[in-house]
């Protein structure tokens, strides 16, 4: 995967297929072909939107999956089912999954392995809570999440995934990490990747920042050396706002 920028919208539990289709059609008219734009959409939108996006620069993906290939897991969805519906990537370990649904690093790790085996690109989310940051534990928390969520992967596999650093205190709160605060953690993540998988792998992994990204701060965040894109929640729901983030570089020329 090229080192970015990859700009991903995470719609969470928003939009019907009709609403999603209208959004993608409008977005297609307003994005540069060289920008990688990804949309993590509700399961029910996958088929329709992967059709609408076609072979454009917009990739459609899901927000979660179960690690098992099949079985008695009522209400769950497998990697193969996501592929069958046109998904190309999947968010894994989003803080809402970790905190509201009790997902552990071990569970996220099983999903990462399954996603890679199934040809889905995992976007693995990590990040500390405010309490952990205040206690000076940010790096320790990040290290534990990286060790746990990426356990057992080889360098080739790590090159095939995306990491998203999303400080929990910045998600949906309007409070963004400053570019310096975010860069500090991103640089730490890249150092840790270097330690675990070597220079070549560490240099290639896309690391996105997420947490209250908006048109006003996207460019400044992505200008940091180790920030290769953004993962956008709330500001990805309105197509004009999201298009401004996608086209952030137009303001810089």
Residues of this chain that interact with ligand PGA (CB under 6 A) are 10, 166, 171-172, 210-213, 231-235
Dihedral sign computed on CA atoms, order 16, 39, 171, 67: positive
Q: Is 94 a catalytic residue?
A: yes
Which of the residues 96, 103, 166, 183 is marked catalytic? 166
Write the DSSP assignment of 135-179 as a string of letters.
Answer: TT-HHHHHHHHHHHHTTT--HHHHHTSEEEE--GGGTTSS-PPPH
Q: Is 14 a catalytic residue?
A: no
Closest residue to ligand PGA, Cβ-based? 233
The alpha carbon torsion through 54, 156, 185, 13 (nearest 10 deg) reads 30
Cβ closer to ligand PGA: 35 or 212? 212
Question: C-beta of 21: minimal distance to ligand PGA in Å?
Answer: 22
Question: C-beta of 171: minimal distance to ligand PGA in Å?
Answer: 4
Give kind and range of the element (H or E) at residue 57. Answer: none
Residues near 152 by Cβ (< 8 Å), separated by ≥ 6?
Answer: 109, 113
Give kind and range of the element (H or E) at residue 223. Answer: none
Cβ closer to ligand PGA: 58 or 202? 58
Cβ closer to ligand PGA: 128 or 197? 128
Q: How far apart are CA 109 and CA 147, in angstroms?
A: 9
Which of the residues 66, 88, 94, 183 is marked catalytic? 94
Question: C-beta of 194: minimal distance to ligand PGA in Å?
Answer: 26
Question: C-beta of 229: minimal distance to ligand PGA in Å?
Answer: 12
Question: Which residues does the annotation mark as catalytic?
Answer: 94, 166
């Amino acid at each position: 995967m090229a080192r970015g920028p990859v700009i991903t919208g995470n719609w969470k539990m928003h939009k019907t297929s009709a609403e999603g289709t209208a959004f993608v059609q409008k977005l297609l008219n307003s994005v540069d072909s060289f920008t990688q734009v990804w949309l993590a959409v509700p399961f029910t939108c996958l088929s329709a939107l992967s059709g609408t996006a076609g072979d454009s620069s917009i990739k459609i993906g899901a927000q979660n999956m179960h690690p098992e290939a099949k079985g008695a897991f009522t209400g769950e969805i497998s990697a193969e089912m996501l592929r069958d519906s046109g998904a190309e990537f999947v968010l894994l370990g989003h803080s809402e999954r970790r905190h509201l649904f009790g997902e552990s690093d071990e569970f996220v790790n099983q999903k990462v392995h399954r996603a890679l085996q199934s040809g889905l690109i995992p976007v693995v989310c990590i990040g500390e809570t405010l309490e952990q940051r205040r206690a000076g534990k940010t790096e320790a928390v990040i290290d534990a999440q990286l060790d746990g969520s990426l356990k057992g992967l080889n360098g080739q596999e790590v090159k095939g995934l995306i990491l998203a650093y999303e400080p929990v205190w910045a998600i949906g709160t309007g409070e963004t990490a400053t570019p310096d605060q975010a860069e500090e953690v991103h640089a730490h993540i890249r150092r840790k990747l270097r330690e675990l998988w070597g220079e070549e792998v560490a240099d290639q992994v896309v690391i996105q920042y997420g947490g209250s990204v908006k048109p006003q701060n996207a460019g400044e965040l992505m200008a940091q050396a180790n920030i290769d894109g953004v993962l956008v929640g709330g500001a990805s729901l309105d197509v004009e706002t999201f298009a401004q983030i996608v086209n952030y570089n137009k303001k810089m020329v």
